Structure 1
Amino acid sequence: MSEHVCVGAIAGAFGVRGEIRLKSFTANPQDIANYTPLFSEDGARSFSVTITRQINNGFSARISGVSTKEEADALRGTQLYADRGQLPSLPDDEFYHADLIGLNVLDTGGTELGRVKAVQNHGAGDLLEVQIKGGSSTVLMPFTRAAVPTVDLASGRIIADPPEGLFE
């Protein structure tokens, strides 16, 4: 498991005084400010975050080291990471997306199907993007208890019972 978890992203400047548009990926979106300092993906920069108000698709926020619109625009697309130790513990049936990426996917008979490449959500629930073993193509598998009865983080694997024909 990674020691850092992506909790948000900077979507560009908001206004002319150095505020940013902040997208939060946390379960309770306003909690992103509780996990500061936040880090860039490479860890080279750290930011303290103060949410100023809610806006369409996120928040307007002030971050340390940014005081102009140009500085805020330069950070567009920067993903923000928090230390795993700052995040709350999860119940047994919930997982951080970062922990699922890279897990091997096996069917209920033990045959390897592939590896989790990404976790996506287009509004109807989480989907595991699984790169098929021995190929470059991927399939989207619903991340439901019926399709994924077992997630074993310690062993680095998922036992799946995918819908008929998904991996053919």
Structure 2
Amino acid sequence: MSEDRICVGAFAGSFGVGGEVRVKSFCAEPEDIETYGTLWTEDGTRSFTLSLTRAVKTGFAADVDGITTKEQADALKGVRLYADRDALPSLPDDEFYHADLIGLTVLDTGGAEVGRVSAVHNHGAGDLIEVAGPGLKTPALVPFTRANVPTVDLTAGRIVIDPPEGTFPE
């Protein structure tokens, strides 16, 4: 996947029988997903232009160019949608795209390397960074707050964490 694209949503199957597609938006302003122009599959081999038609449970119904049947819409279920980075809004200094955090080296406040960010999750109560490393049997989840992650340095490729007690085994 190109670093020039960011995941902004995913198809979630068909909506009705007329070829509309259900879309989950991962955007801060969910309806903005239709404003980013052409959207791509992760491997960049397929592109989609979508037009939101209405809000539905867990997302939107949308018309997608070239999709005219329920079967075609169902076949797209699970396909993640990527927008060109230059089509996305610039972020304030204290906000980051999840894709930019994944792979960063994680240091503790003493400068010791703890691992790397392997994923970013959000289950509704805020972002969690998943930290995987050689000394961890299972990845650790750290709330992505200023208190727990005081430093994010994309240029240096690292973050500093001050996790809640008990997050990492002693």
What is the TM-score of this pair, normalised by structure 1?
Answer: 0.97
The residue that corresponds to 1:164 in the other structure is 165
Q: Does the 8 Å CA contact 1:12/1:73 hold for their aligned counterparts?
A: yes
Structure 1 unaligned spans of 5+: none
> How far apart are the structure 2 equivalents of 1:62 and 1:136?
45
> How far apart are the structure 2 equivalents of 1:136 and 1:59?
39
Tell me the SS of whatever aligns to 2:86.
helix
> How far apart are the structure 1 equivalents of 2:53 and 2:67?
14
> How far apart are the structure 2 equivalents of 1:136 and 1:102?
18
**Which of structure 1's runs of 4+ aligned residues deviate more than 2 A?**
132-136
Identify the range of structure 1 (133-142 vs 145-154) with the bigger mean alpha-carbon deviation.
133-142
Spell out the pairing of 1:27-106 with structure 2 (5 A cutoff).
27-106=28-107
Please list the CA deviations of residues 108-143 of structure 1 after superposition, one character each: whole Å capped at 9, or x if unmatched. 111011111111111111100111334452011010
Q: Which amino acid aligns with 2:62?
A: A
Kindly tell me the number of residue pairs found equivalent between the two proteins. Answer: 168
Tell me the SS of whatever aligns to 1:154.
coil
> How far apart are the structure 2 equivalents of 1:11 and 1:162?
35
1:13 maps onto 2:14 in alignment: yes
> How far apart are the structure 2 equivalents of 1:139 and 1:37?
36
> How far apart are the structure 1 equivalents of 2:16 and 2:159?
45
The residue that corresponds to 2:151 in the other structure is 150
> How far apart are the structure 2 equivalents of 1:45 and 1:65?
12
Identify the range of structure 1 (17-26 vs 132-141) with the bigger mean alpha-carbon deviation.
132-141
Q: Which amino acid aligns with 1:47?
A: F
The residue that corresponds to 1:108 in the other structure is 109
> How far apart are the structure 1 equivalents of 2:93 and 2:137?
32
Q: Which amino acid aligns with 2:67?
A: V
Structure 2 unaligned spans of 5+: none
> How far apart are the structure 1 equivalents of 2:89 and 2:32?
11
Please list the CA deviations of residues 2-34 of structure 1 after superposition, one character each: whole Å capped at 9, or x if unmatched. 110000000000111110000000010000000
> How far apart are the structure 2 equivalents of 1:38 and 1:157?
29
- Report the CA distance between 1:64 and its aligned residue: 1.1
Q: What percentage of residue pairs aligned between the two structures are identical?
A: 63
The residue that corresponds to 1:132 in the other structure is 133
Q: Does the 8 Å CA contact 1:115/1:133 hold for their aligned counterparts?
A: no
What is the TM-score of this pair, normalised by structure 2?
Answer: 0.96
